[in-house]
Amino acid sequence: MSALPTPRTDAYLAELREEFPRLRVVDKPTHPWSRRIDRVLRALTFGGQAAYVSTYTTVLGSTIYLPASWGERSDEARYITLRHEAVHLRQFRRFGVVGMTLIYGLPLFPVGLALGRAAIEWEAYRETLAAYADVYGLHAARDPALHAHIRLQFTGPAYVFMWPFPRMVQRYIDRAVAALEAQSGDAPTP
């Protein structure tokens, strides 16, 4: 996919293939359905989510759909994204495609209070924080810029305004970071 060496990503993908023997990895830009979803999301969010194919990685069933910018990303960035997507692969295994579609897809109404989607994504973003801590150290999981990015995923158009309560999202993030700190025995001075 790219000339960049990505040992960490390759090793993790090999692990995922063991955990999910039916795992497929597909490029969104050449995948007709991804392009259709991209158009629907642009319309639904009045152009707010225009990065579905270019930037966002997606899991459906046991397939990971990679965005156009995947090849330009660092090994670390890819690995962290795959840690998040692995949570979705496990959710699909747990709930099945129909169950996940019901939890994730149906509550487009009301747009802006999609509890199922928010719960599904929160489980995965908690893993994103853990992956940042594993790759870069706990300070990376405490980074306010990362927190702002995660808050925006919940409150903004990326997932069609699934949970527009930034302070609540930040409380969840704080709790997740505190749990990571407790795990590593590295609590910050209050």
Helix segments in the chain, DSSP class H: 7-19, 32-44, 75-100, 115-136, 138-141, 144-155, 166-184
Q: CB 139 → Zn ion: shortest distance, Å?
A: 24
- Angstrom CA distances, 152 to 22, 107, 141, stand at 32, 19, 16
Rounded Cα gap, residues 162 and 93, in angstroms: 23
Range 152-181, binding Zn ion (CB under 5 A): none
Q: CB 120 → Zn ion: shortest distance, Å?
A: 7
Nearest residue to Zn ion, by Cβ distance, number only: 124
Work out whether 124 is an interface residue with Zn ion (CB under 5 A): yes
Q: Which is nearer to Zn ion, 102 or 187 (CB)?
A: 102
Cβ atoms of residues 66 and 28 within 8 Å = yes
Q: Which is nearer to Zn ion, 6 or 92 (CB)?
A: 92
**Number of Cβ within a 10 Å radius of residue 21:** 7
Work out whether 80 is an interface residue with Zn ion (CB under 5 A): no
26: DSSP letter: E
Q: Which residue stretch of 8-16, 100-108, 116-124, 166-174 sits at the interface with Zn ion (rule: CB under 5 A)?
A: 116-124
Q: CB 91 → Zn ion: shortest distance, Å?
A: 9
CA atoms within 13 A on the CB side of 89: 24
Q: Which is nearer to Zn ion, 9 or 159 (CB)?
A: 159
Size of the residue set binding Zn ion (CB under 5 A):
2
Q: Which is nearer to Zn ion, 124 or 173 (CB)?
A: 124
Q: Which is nearer to Zn ion, 124 or 138 (CB)?
A: 124
Rounded Cα gap, residues 86 and 84, in angstroms: 5
Q: Enumerate binding residues for Zn ion (CB under 5 A).
A: 121, 124
